[in-house]
Chains A and B, each alone.
Chain A
Amino acid sequence: KQEVTQIPAALSVPEGENLVLNCSFTDSAIYNLQWFRQDPGKGLTSLLLIQSSQREQTSGRLNASLDKSSGRSTLYIAASQPGDSATYLCAVRYSSASKIIFGSGTRLSIRP
């Protein structure tokens, strides 16, 4: 069964810290992996997309890595700010079809 897991479910850190969010998936035959943030009651905002052939993507203070062999992706956030507080979701898209599976998310809180 194809599953996507995000651990921890919640994380609270003081402002300024660097942090890593984890995403693991059970089937390595992925098409792409996408990281999103979701603010309470809102839609999803795309942060980074990593194609199957790529190892990492960077945007500003965010860096996402992909290791298909181990079934893992990490989202690194540098110099965290209170505005980074949100739920972060990873979604894995598989090659076989349009099938897309989301993790349950990590709820991040940055303390001022």
Chain B
Amino acid sequence: ETGVTQTPRHLVMGMTNKKSLKCEQHLGHNAMYWYKQSAKKPLELMFVYNFKEQTENNSVPSRFSPECPNSSHLFLHLHTLQPEDSALYLCASSQEGTSGSRGEQYFGPGTRLTVT
């Protein structure tokens, strides 16, 4: 499989549930990102992992917990979410800091999350 994959593609969860979103990139990149896309709002960067180290956390509530076990996998653990967290969650990857790298981001298809 190529590119950036995300599972599941759709998720419905109650406010007391715990679930995880998974992202995998097959591009050999060293940086991965989580974004949130809500209706009628610009895409919001949530977390950045560069060389498996978290380098950015844009004031995201603690009910979202990222995990990056290696440079190819990224998880977003969810617990006690609110209805306003319903959105499309997108994962992306890029190659950073190496000769010839341009920082071009490649996105996965997203997980459509509905919190009831």
Asked if chains A and B come from one complex, the reply is: yes
- Asked if B104 contacts A99 (CB within 8 A), the reply is no
In the bound complex, residues from chain B placing their C-beta under 8 Å from that of A4 are 42
* Bound complex: CA A101 to CA B41 (Å): 12
- Asked if A45 contacts B102 (CB within 8 A), the reply is no
* Bound complex: CA A45 to CA B107 (Å): 7
A43 proximal to B (CB < 8 A): yes
Interface residue total, chain A, C-beta cutoff 8 A = 25
Q: Nearest residue in A to B104 (C-beta to C-beta)? A: A49
- Asked if B55 contacts A98 (CB within 8 A), the reply is yes
- Asked if B102 contacts A97 (CB within 8 A), the reply is no
Q: Nearest residue in A to B103 (C-beta to C-beta)? A: A32
Nearest Cβ on chain A to B24's Cβ, whole angstroms: 14
Majority secondary structure of chain B interface residues (helix, strand, loop or mixed): strand
Per a CB cutoff under 8 Å, which of A43, A93, A99 touches B107?
A43
- Asked if B56 contacts A43 (CB within 8 A), the reply is no
Known A32-B102, A43-B90, A98-B55; judge A89-B107 contact (CB<8 A): no
What 0/1 pattern do residues 86 to 116 of B give for CB contact below 8 A with A? 0010101000100000111111111010000
B11 proximal to A (CB < 8 A): no
A44 proximal to B (CB < 8 A): yes
What 0/1 pattern do residues 72 to 112 of A give for CB contact below 8 A with B? 00000000000000000101010001111111110000000
What 0/1 pattern do residues 35 to 47 of B give for CB contact below 8 A with A? 0000001111100
Q: Which one of A31, A101, A102, A104 has the highest number of Cβ atoms from chain B below 10 Å of its Cβ?
A: A102
In the bound complex, residues from chain B placing their C-beta under 8 Å from that of A100 are 33, 45, 105
Known A99-B45, A102-B43; judge A43-B103 contact (CB<8 A): no
- Asked if B102 contacts A49 (CB within 8 A), the reply is yes
* Interface residues in B19-50 (C-beta closer than 8 Å to A): 31, 33, 41-45, 48, 50
8 A–B contacts, CB within 8 A, in A order: A32-B102, A32-B103, A34-B104, A46-B105, A93-B103, A100-B105, A102-B42, A102-B44
